[in-house]
Amino acid sequence: MIKRADLSIVPLTFKHPIVTAHAVLSVRRTLILRLETVDGVVGYGEGAAFETPWYTEETTQSMIDTSKLILNLLKGMTITTDVFPNLVSSIIGQRMAKAMWESALWEIEAARANMSLKSYMKAGDTVSCGRTIGIGLLNQTMNSIETALADGFERIKLKASPNELLPALREIRAVFPDAPLMIDLNGSASDQPMAWFEQLDAHRLLMIEQPYPSRQFTKLAALQAKLTTPICLDESITSYDDVETMAQLGAGKIINIKPARVGGLSEALHIRKYGTPYWVGGMYESAIGRYHTLLFASLSGASFPADMSGTSAYFEQDLLDIPLEVENGTLTLPDSVQPDWNVIEWLREEVITLQI
């Protein structure tokens, strides 16, 4: 049974601002859950939503509010990851909040089995990683691509607004004609004409990620039917049912599985079994959430390198006791890690304690 839940709001400063189609991020305020049972077992998870609802409808505040509902539902019960999704199913949506809690429960189950989470999940030792690059100043973008290729990354994801993308992509392809490039549009290209997509199609991309907003499956299917380049769905995939919808309509050919976005590791494992080509994405989370996602990414079956980096890639300060580092495009997973609670307590702006 759960005794208490502590929610820490921790601001993490990016080494370089992160550019997406909808936002420029300089600071990432992440939410860290520390869950303690009545017999003193501790698990932890990370809430991956942002401060504003630019990626999904969830926010940092909504995860805090949902956590209060979750704790009330679980009061007095002995919880396992097998039953957790059903117990919280009366809460509509709020998948990132649920994923945060489920991650903590996975940690608790592993501790009760006297195992690390890596061993408990039968996870692998390494993860092949890609690199994400926001298109800014062209010379800086070129340098970043050159460095990523030299460092052994086998997939490079470019992020930019539609207005910036085509001119930059033409210049990039002139210099790197064979680089393994893809683009991520974060649902921002719904107003672009077919001629615009046809120009993208000519650049031999690995995939076009999320060109239209999340629920526009029929529009995505019509677009995929006219393109050679595979469409990858990200925000559209929130559950196993969404993968079925995509497959039946032909709305895409690849999926980006983010455990945080689909409600947790249990649903991510379920989606993995469907058989659609997939790769594993991150949420610019701290190393706490990143490690949990990397354990999932290390399982067999992914068709492309994960969208993950080491702890030194993004933030000035990170939150694990052991750094996660990428070498030659591959990240080696430590057998066991722990949050650095001293750093968390030093950095955090606020802690919300929920008790039974």
Residue 159 a catalytic site member: yes
> β-pairing, 126-128 with 330-332?
antiparallel
Dihedral of the alpha carbons of 208, 212, 218, 220, in degrees to the nearest 10: -10
Sheet strands (E) in the chain = 2-19, 24-37, 42-47, 126-128, 131-134, 156-159, 181-184, 208-209, 231-233, 254-257, 278-280, 326-327, 330-332, 350-355
Question: Residue 169's closest CA among 129, 131, 199?
Answer: 199
273 classed as catalytic: no
- Among 282, 276, 269, 273, residue whose Cα is nearest residue 303: 276
Catalytic residue among 157, 159, 219, 226: 159
Distance CA 48, CA 100 (A): 8
- The type of residue at 45 is G
Chain centre distance of CA 281: 4
- Judge whether 46 and 60 are in contact, CB under 8 Å: no
Closest CA relative to residue 19, chosen from 145, 184, 148:
184
Give helix 287-297 / helix 95-112 axis angle, nearest 10°: 80
Give the closest residue to 257 by CA, choosing from 222, 249, 246: 246
Distance CA(334)–CA(338), nearest Å, equals 11
Beta bridge partners of 158: 133, 183
Catalytic residue, chosen from 98, 118, 157, 258, is 258
Residues tagged active-site: 159, 258
